[in-house]
């Protein structure tokens, strides 16, 4: 072919990009395009932190494409309409893209295929955002897995695709109209957080550093809030700044050099990559989980609505130091440690009895790495309503969680400055009823032991009521 489009979506990189590689190999000229969404002001599933990370990543991608001899074109609006218009304007013969693992992209991809057939251009989609897509890991009866452990075993047995060569040269024809590079002003939003550096180069540096220095100890320290033991690659996978194939392959190669203990530690990280794909296939096959509980026993369950309590949780003013530290970290950086996500989610649902969907939506608006499948899966796991979730009677105690995973209170003191002068042991024990831990710090808004019993009663009563229907 002479000329084709490559539609960038969640694959903002030149290294190991399946559809881009195929586009470059198939045509003399490639027109890279990114289509900017046109919502304004507020969005249920995203916010300023993630959009700023996207903008910075796009700016770096545009520069890398220019260095390779091409030009990244920006258009704004309906994706299918804009792609079809650009095909017509440039007389391109095909549109290449990598498939979106979320069901939101399903209708767009299906419509583009119909338009391509009607208008006479080829539509070529590729697997790229995951190692195994929704239809690859199925039970013996060709059904999707609903429990993680058998899914992970089946996933591990399947052959993995190898990375493809980096695209180093591009040729894009001139004279193509392009919208300006997007910025937060495009969506009329503002950001106050200090987010992690964006772009493919920064992401690759993070990946290299993690594999070299932290992979071997991951399983031993991943839950420690006060240590830098996690990969911090979640936002990079979310936007495809790094390839899941390359990440997996580099981890596998490194693991072959480890002794048994370190290999087991590293295997825990690979397990997290499998959880990511497990939740992706759950959302794909059961999109209703965005509106209701995955577990049918708890569908229609009524949670409490308490705007004042939710606001204290959101602001990090609950009087529970580890919860407040985590919520303030999220507000200030657009990131939260995974263990802290469990603690804060379980506190909202099991101590405050507030609907998990409210917390889920707030996290999606704040997180730089917000990935809708993983976020939904994590919230439903904590609430006890999801796929392979923690049993509803498993209720984490915030006080013992902080003592276990932040023993010296370094994490708490980093994000809650009013507690920095207190000894660590005082921050892991509930104060006497009606008293704050320190002057100027909120009194704990609930008694954990009391709310734990109420949660058990709430779930038991709902199960009893549904059993009698």
List residues with catalytic annotation: 272, 275, 303, 338, 356, 379
First vs last C-alpha separation in the chain: 63
What are the residues facing 29 on neighbouring strands? 3
Asked if residues 14 and 167 have their Cβ atoms less than 8 Å apart, the reply is yes
Pair type for strands 3-8 and 29-36: parallel
Burial class from Cβ neighbours inside 10 Å (0-12, 13-18, 19+) for residue 433 reads exposed
Which of 368, 393, 389, 369 has the alpha carbon at shortest distance from 379? 389
Write phi, then psi, for 30 (nearest 5 degrees): -125, 130
Residue tagged 């700044």 (tokens):
241
Q: Which residues contact 271 (CB under 8 A, 6 or more apart)?
A: 152
Nearest CA-CA partner of 331 in 190, 191, 184: 191
Beta partners for residue 8, in sequence order: 34
Length of the chain: 469
Q: What is the β-pairing status of strands 29-36 and 122-126?
A: unpaired
CB count within 10 Å of CB 169 equals 10
């Amino acid at each position: 072919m002479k000329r084709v489009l490559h539609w960038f979506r969640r694959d903002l990189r030149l290294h190991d990009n399946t559809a881009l590689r195929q586009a470059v190999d198939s045509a003399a000229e490639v027109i890279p395009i990114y289509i900017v969404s046109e919502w304004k002001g507020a969005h249920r599933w995203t916010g300023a932190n993630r959009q700023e990370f996207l903008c910075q990543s796009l700016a770096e991608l545009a520069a890398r494409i220019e260095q390779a001899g091409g030009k990244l074109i920006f258009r704004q609006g309906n994706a299918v309409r804009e792609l079809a218009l650009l095909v017509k304007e440039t007389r391109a013969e095909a549109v290449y893209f990598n498939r979106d693992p979320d069901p939101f992209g399903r209708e767009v991809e299906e419509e583009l295929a119909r338009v391509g057939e009607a208008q006479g251009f080829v539509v070529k989609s590729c697997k790229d955002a995951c190692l195994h897509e929704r239809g690859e890991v199925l039970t013996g009866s060709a059904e999707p897995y609903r429990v993680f452990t058998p899914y992970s075993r089946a996933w591990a047995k399947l052959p993995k695709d190898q990375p493809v060569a980096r695209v180093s040269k591009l040729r894009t024809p001139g004279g193509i109209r392009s919208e300006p590079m997007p910025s937060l002003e495009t969506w009329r939003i503002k950001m106050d957080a200090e987010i992690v550096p964006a772009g493919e180069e920064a992401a690759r540096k993070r990946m290299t550093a993690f594999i070299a220095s932290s992979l071997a100890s991951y399983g031993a320290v991943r839950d420690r809030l006060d240590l830098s033991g996690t990969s911090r690659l979640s936002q990079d996978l979310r936007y495809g700044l790094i390839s899941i194939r390359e990440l997996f392959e580099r981890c596998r190669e490194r693991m072959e050099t480890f002794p048994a203990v370190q290999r087991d530690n590293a295997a825990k990280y690979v397990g997290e990559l499998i959880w990511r794909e497990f939740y992706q296939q759950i959302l794909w096959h059961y999109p209703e989980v965005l509106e209701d509980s995955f577990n049918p026993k708890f569908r229609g369950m009524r949670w409490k609505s308490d705007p004042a309590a939710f606001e204290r949780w959101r602001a990090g003013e609950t009087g529970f130091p580890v919860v407040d530290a985590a919520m303030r970290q999220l507000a200030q950086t657009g990131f939260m440690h995974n263990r802290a996500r469990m603690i804060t989610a379980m506190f909202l649902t099991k101590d405050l009895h507030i609907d998990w969907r409210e917390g889920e939506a707030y996290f999606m608006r704040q997180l730089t790495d917000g990935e809708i499948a993983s976020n939904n899966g994590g919230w439903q796991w904590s609430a006890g309503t999801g796929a392979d979730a923690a049993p509803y009677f498993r209720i984490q105690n915030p006080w013992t969680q902080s003592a276990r995973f932040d023993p010296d209170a370094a994490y708490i003191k980093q994000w809650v400055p009013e507690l920095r002068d207190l000894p660590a042991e005082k921050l892991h024990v509930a104060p006497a009823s009606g008293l704050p831990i320190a002057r100027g710090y909120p009194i704990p808004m609930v008694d954990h032991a009391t709310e734990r019993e109420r949660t058990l009663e709430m779930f038991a009563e709902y199960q009893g009521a549904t059993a009698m229907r």
